Structure 1
């Protein structure tokens, strides 16, 4: 493993993040405050508790997952697309580094950025609600697995995208709706009968449910199922990226 090469890619990507640290922090903090005002105050005034948890606290894991998914995908997709756009991608392909090292560098940086922003959101949320974490190790594990998995998704999107507009298609039209329909701001038990079954086909439900269990020990699906789902999804993403580099799809003439 060429760790100096991995570290070089990682630090280069992290440097881009810290050069705009104000924007990187200010945007999620403002979004969190707005979500608390709209959902926590407006809806929370009508729904005081969900499964015995104050509504303001209940939505925090969903807010964190929403941000982690968006940040992981956007950072990883832009990080790998830009070298394609300016033509420096071929330097990576001809350098004495393997595709595994390229992926670790870009995906590791994207996941680190998403986790950093998630921590900022959790700190911000504590100013609004009392937020206990029953299982901090499990919370960290779910956060890490989710950040890495969706950074891999972003990496795939960056390879696939033919222009900057396509980088936004999946996060805006697919991921964000899945988060809102995946129990980010409500419990699946609150849905009418048939919709409780339909929502089980939403993969994001398992991420949010597992992460929420780590906070409050309540979940819409068994925590073991949530952990298995994110692990399978991670393995699938790794398999797709391996195929991309073996075949040269979208990265070689």
Structure 2
């Protein structure tokens, strides 16, 4: 393990994040604040409580997950795509660093960025609603695991993509709809029985449900299933990343 190489890649990615702070940090926080205004005030005035929780507070975990998932994918995919686009990725591949060190550097930086965004959105939420986090350690655990797993997914997308349009393809057409249909703004128990069953095939349901449990002690699915789902997703992403570097897929062309 080469800590200096990991730290160099990590610092480079974090420096790029702070250079574009208005786009990387302020923009997602402002957009999430608009969600609080629209959903919390407009819709919340018509829905008093969901599962015994004020609707404005109920949507906070879903909003944080929405931002964290999309930002994790975006930061990681752009972070690895640019070296591939500019050709500097070959310097990494020819340098005395392993694929694991490259992944830790880039994915670690992307996860750190999305974690910071998630924490800032959480702090912002206190200005709009009253929150009482029942399981703060579990909340941080779910947040960190989500940042890491979706940063790994973004890393895979960044290597797979051939152009900037493909970078946005999976987040826009797959991830965002899954998040909106995964109980971000509602409990799946509010759905008819048939659609409740269909929702259980959406992996994002388990992530949001576990994260919401950490806040309010209530969830749509058992917390154990949530942890198992995110662990399985992370393992699959790690296996795909290992296969990419083993075969040189989209790296040695």
The alignment's TM-score, normalised by the length of structure 1, stands at: 0.99
Q: What's the offset of the Cα at 1:142?
A: 0.4
Q: What's the offset of the Cα at 1:28?
A: 1.7
Give the ranges of 4+ consecutive aligned residues of structure 1 lying more than 6 Å apart after TM superposition.
none
Find the aligned partners of 2:165 and 2:176 in 1 and give their Cα distance: 16
Q: 2:234 is matched with which residue?
A: 234
* Aligned partner of residue 183 in structure 1, secondary structure: coil
Find the aligned partners of 1:167 and 1:139 in 2 and give their Cα distance: 29
Q: What's the offset of the Cα at 1:20?
A: 1.6
Q: 1:219 is matched with which residue?
A: 219
Q: 2:51 is matched with which residue?
A: 51
Q: Residues 233-252 of structure 1: matches in 2 within 5 Å?
A: 233-252=233-252
Q: What's the offset of the Cα at 1:23?
A: 2.9
* Aligned partner of residue 45 in structure 1, secondary structure: coil
Q: What's the offset of the Cα at 1:22?
A: 2.8
Q: What are the ranges of 5 or more consecutive residues in structure 1 without an aligned counterpart?
A: none
- CA-to-aligned-CA distance 1:15-66 (integer Å, 9 cap, x gap): 0001122332221221122101111111111111000100000000000000
- CA-to-aligned-CA distance 1:117-154 (integer Å, 9 cap, x gap): 00110011000001111111100110011000000000
Q: 2:128 is matched with which residue?
A: 128
Find the aligned partners of 2:76 and 2:53 in 1 and give their Cα distance: 34
Q: 1:24 is matched with which residue?
A: 24
Q: What's the offset of the Cα at 1:14?
A: 0.3
Greater CA deviation, 241-250 or 32-41?
A: 32-41
Greater CA deviation, 32-41 or 134-143?
A: 32-41
Q: 1:119 is matched with which residue?
A: 119
- CA-to-aligned-CA distance 1:156-186 (integer Å, 9 cap, x gap): 0000000011000011111000000000000
Find the aligned partners of 2:251 and 2:22 in 1 and give their Cα distance: 33
Find the aligned partners of 2:23 and 2:179 in 1 and give their Cα distance: 23
Greater CA deviation, 25-34 or 113-122?
A: 25-34
Find the aligned partners of 2:118 and 2:39 in 1 and give their Cα distance: 19
Q: What are the ranges of 5 or more consecutive residues in structure 2 without an aligned counterpart?
A: none
Find the aligned partners of 1:25 and 1:78 in 2 and give their Cα distance: 15
Find the aligned partners of 1:215 and 1:30 in 2 and give their Cα distance: 22
Q: Is the 8 A contact 1:32 1:125 kept in 2?
A: no
Find the aligned partners of 1:166 and 1:242 in 2 and give their Cα distance: 22
Q: What's the offset of the Cα at 1:209?
A: 0.2
